[in-house]
Structure 1
């Protein structure tokens, strides 16, 4: 089903916008909705945030299955139905009067996340367009980089107007009405290639050396763990470093623009191999965290560097595997690599919270610095093991 033409500008914009809605209706939802839920229901905050971890965990467990489905079918229908699945979960969430039903709603939302977030979309694009998908992936992440800037105030406004349950129903309606037609428009229907026989997991991994596969898994997992930990604990870490709440909020607000800015810069270097983008990503994250740990008064600069590196992370997770495997194997490989990263993300709030509570902010930040340095070393190892010479991707 591989096509030689690139996705059009209108298609890339559509895909970027639908990703904003999909991420806003799932992964980023609880950042704004948790407190109103706790206030109304009386459920513990740990359990409410734990529901998000449940959704991420389900998404991680289903990621390899999602990859196999995309490899066989092209992914168009899977992506198109993801909005309906998320909508069902949101409706159940809005109707839930018990914690058990609330957690079940996030199991359903997690299924929708496995069907419709970055990993599934990138796998679909890589399978359809091969190396030509790189510019589309960069464009989509550039647009969706405004996700939190748009969805957090928007969700807060819906909660103000409709309360949190009404907001769930409203977001569900938007997902139900917009996701399916958006994907049907942006991803024209193509017939699957019939001469490719299904491969077992072992055969699929033969398209990429096992050592390279597990290096990629480790790199993406560490990057996801660091990103999740910072997303959850940045305000607390900044306050523990001596910043006021107002100052901490102002500093953290720089992350979004820096992420978008780094993605714009990546467009200018799109002909280079993605391993160099990976170097910049993990290197900037490590430098930013080390700067925050050693010089807390330079927190603004540290977050500029970290935000730029983290912005490139979303691009790398799609483009680096694309440069290393055949298009027909890409969806399955990406699906398998997504599992450990998503499981790591699901466990990070629990483990990070325990470390912060028992050992304090300096130890938490120090641990994140160690993980970031390890990731730089892993990328260096990956670069040495890549086949040479490495062709650039257009």
Structure 2
């Protein structure tokens, strides 16, 4: 098959994309599952976006679509964007999500040994305790911001305790996270923030090598596998990934899911009446409004055909997980919430070797959060006249606030 003529299919993706990405996806879908676009924000570099479910699933496991951070940075440089070549940005980016086998296999092995199912399950009592405390705080108010008062502090507290990061530093790393995932700020902010966060993590990890505690980062800093240890640079990048992914995605799973549920009182009441159905409902929340919009960057090491489109070698590729999970060829009436839906195979946590290592923790936190929230506040409602404002990030899909009335 001949390669697609890239000069005739370039579409612009503007800032309004974040308000309603499905407006774009629905228009594109009529023209096929793969599209050549130019992002006016944040970097203005042409790329390919995969929106079809079958094509996305295939792309996520295709070894010709590389994840290597240095290779991607070189492609950005070739297109006139030099920001990703900065040393501190590179040091944060070179984690297992941005590597290919065999490097990815080696890095993930260290995390899998520390981030076990047993360790996650043991967190349940503490997560329940934190949840109850936060809901107690909301109960005394006629109105609260669910993101600020509940959805954010819950996973932030959990990930701080799990990793061994001082909770008192949360405002710093949360602020850094918003900038580095593209939700706020510009290139200069990202350069400054990369330097600050890399320096913070280097100092934290150096201390854990000297004074280890009973936490995950201490384990990673001091663990060896057949004589192999993570280097200082690998540790910094790993800590960055676990800290950011360990709270930001869960914040927006809880926020997006609550908002979707509060817009359908019938399903809200049905779920309250049957709390055993909450785990299944959470999978539908993940499908209909997942916390990750586009999977992290890939690029073609050789021509790759997806559907009827052949993407040439040396092209940047994004897989729109939220678009794939709204593909009508996979899910009927994909824009409608259905907490009883069979959502097997949704891709909110990715697919293949890069499937989210923190998915079990996110599911546990969300199950505890929704169970307690619905039980505690049977009349929970969105504040009148609320219109969501979405973070301007391609990676993270989440609102900036969610004002609610706990008592209706």
TM-score class, shorter = under 0.3
Q: Could you state the TM-score of these two structures normalised by the residue count of structure 2? A: 0.26
Specify which structure has the higher proportion of strand: 2
Q: Could you state the TM-score of these two structures normalised by the residue count of structure 1? A: 0.27
Specify which structure has the higher proportion of helix: 1
